[in-house]
Structure 1
């Protein structure tokens, strides 16, 4: 069949386009199958059907997997635009019908979930037809954008002393900036200070997250300003564990002020840093087609409202 003269939309199915777009996001047929709850053979069949209808090669073998050709990447970009337009149309239709419903998948790193999710659920109780599913995802700050392939909203953090990482076609909604304070045991000689400078604390034993997490990047800035390397004795992403270790005198740490403040009383002291802007920026990341969904917009607005008191 000669398909060269027929319009694109006469030859393709939106569902087939969606599979191609997911392949561009996830990188493998197996990953697409997992994300779409389809079988790998069904994913491959849809890709084969799309290629046959268009009469052009969209994917090619690459080792044990496949990769998009130039034509495949071009059509995947079109597929993203189509998905966004369809989501926007569905949002308008829900507005017309006077209701909003759907499932929204929200991924947060641990301390942001602790800070924001309980109040978010309180707010969403007024919208019972929206089902919010929450997931824990704590990765290095440059890897949060990749999670938008699997979730509708990804709450990410990054240190505020660096430019935002390259994120590709991802929408970003600022939520808040959270200061980072130096956490000290109650009996520490510096615990009574109103502020501490990098030179005051650089020689301490430090408890920090893995490299490339915002808290660790701030410690790097402290070391640079003090002109001496930090002595790291323990690494963990679990903030409650960091708090317990500090409280028992096993080191000091950088901890987020709003998240830690309530648990710090009677256990440890939070002291702001002097001469250094120390904080993390918390943002919501979304693929454009997900951001266009009405249910996602409702959850996002509620998330922004929940973060507002901390953003002031």
Structure 2
């Protein structure tokens, strides 16, 4: 490996390739042609003297050497952002644009209060985006957004994500949503056995709720009968209200709409819930504006739990 100083722009492109998986995707993200991106990556590879990228099928992936360089690229980018953040903090400058993506029900729960908190920073603009994806897909969104509000089941091992900064926001219990005239609606709690034979309205597979349904079936010994799937929480609530089935609903998010429409009954014997957390690239999390939004997200989540 040559000892010449590595080019930060080329390192950044290598990192984008690690996150996005193709030169074409990197080119689209950085506003260059695929040819220009390829040339820069080849120049970096010539400089270090070892292969950084290898073909796998129709795509490419980084070699061990490439991944090691990406770790260094993240460290350097984070240090630069921390230095910039320290200077802005010294000058009392909290400003810029922060791009935040969130799945729908978390946005409903957190964004209104977050915007109220951020109003004390006139120079800071928060742009929000809807991204309701499968549990495993949230990490990939950090390539395009400064903050990604994600959810995962609270009964799974926390994934190893060394290239991401994770900020815990809250754990939200999931209650059984029942029509008001359902025989179980007035119960203080229900068990999996109480729910045998019910028609369920739930999100698609690969969402946190699916693991709870599997646990319910295992505990009761009866397969869960799913009659409809949708990610749209208000639709699930309306279908439950109209008597078309039951579902698992997020306690804090659905509470305001429950009164007079449907019942929220805690589920016994199974710890049903979801963890809501904020994901960011470490260098973006180091930005003063992003840190400010993250701090206020944590504060807003604490009021929800309280």
Tell whether the 8 Å contact from 1:202 to 1:222 is kept in structure 2 after alignment: no
Match of 2:248 among 234, 254, 261: 254
**1:235 aligned to 2:229?**
yes
**1:93 aligned to 2:90?**
no
Q: Distance in 1 between matches of 2:59 and 2:278?
A: 32
**Structure 1 residues 47, 130: CA separation in 2 closer, same or farther (over 3 Å shift)?**
same
Q: Mean alpha-carbon deviation: is it higher for 300-309 or for 100-109?
A: 100-109
**1:81 aligned to 2:39?**
no
**1:161 aligned to 2:158?**
no
**DSSP-derived class of the 2:216 partner:** helix
Q: Which residue number in structure 2 is paired with residue 265 of structure 1?
A: 259
Tell whether the 8 Å contact from 1:178 to 1:310 is kept in structure 2 after alignment: no
**1:198 aligned to 2:192?**
yes
**Structure 1 residues 38, 220: CA separation in 2 closer, same or farther (over 3 Å shift)?**
same
Q: Which residue number in structure 2 is paired with residue 299 of structure 1?
A: 293
- The number of residue pairs the alignment matches comes to 306
**1:189 aligned to 2:171?**
no
**Structure 1 residues 191, 28: CA separation in 2 closer, same or farther (over 3 Å shift)?**
same
Q: Which residue number in structure 2 is paired with residue 34 of structure 1?
A: 28
Q: Distance in 2 between matches of 1:42 and 1:173?
A: 36
Q: Which residue number in structure 2 is paired with residue 59 of structure 1?
A: 53
Taking the TM superposition and a 5 Å limit, the aligned residue runs for 1:13-162 are 13-162=7-156
* TM-score after normalising by structure 2: 0.94
**1:308 aligned to 2:297?**
no
**Structure 2 unaligned spans of 5+:** none
**1:217 aligned to 2:211?**
yes
**DSSP-derived class of the 2:98 partner:** strand
1:204-251, Cα deviation, whole Å (9 max, x unpaired)? 000111112111211211111112111111111111110111111110
Q: Which residue number in structure 1 is paired with residue 171 of structure 2?
A: 177
**Structure 1 unaligned spans of 5+:** none
Q: Distance in 2 between matches of 1:256 and 1:248?
A: 19
1:231-287, Cα deviation, whole Å (9 max, x unpaired)? 111111111110111111110000001111111222111111122221111111112
* TM-score after normalising by structure 1: 0.92
TM-fit CA distance, 1:105: 1.4
TM-fit CA distance, 1:61: 4.2
TM-fit CA distance, 1:64: 4.0
Q: Distance in 2 between matches of 1:304 and 1:183?
A: 27
Structural RMSD (CA): 1.7
TM-fit CA distance, 1:171: 1.7
1:45-89, Cα deviation, whole Å (9 max, x unpaired)? 322332344444433444444333333222222111111111111
**DSSP-derived class of the 2:267 partner:** coil
Q: Distance in 2 between matches of 1:61 and 1:190?
A: 57
Q: Distance in 2 between matches of 1:65 and 1:307?
A: 40
**Structure 1 residues 65, 223: CA separation in 2 closer, same or farther (over 3 Å shift)?**
closer
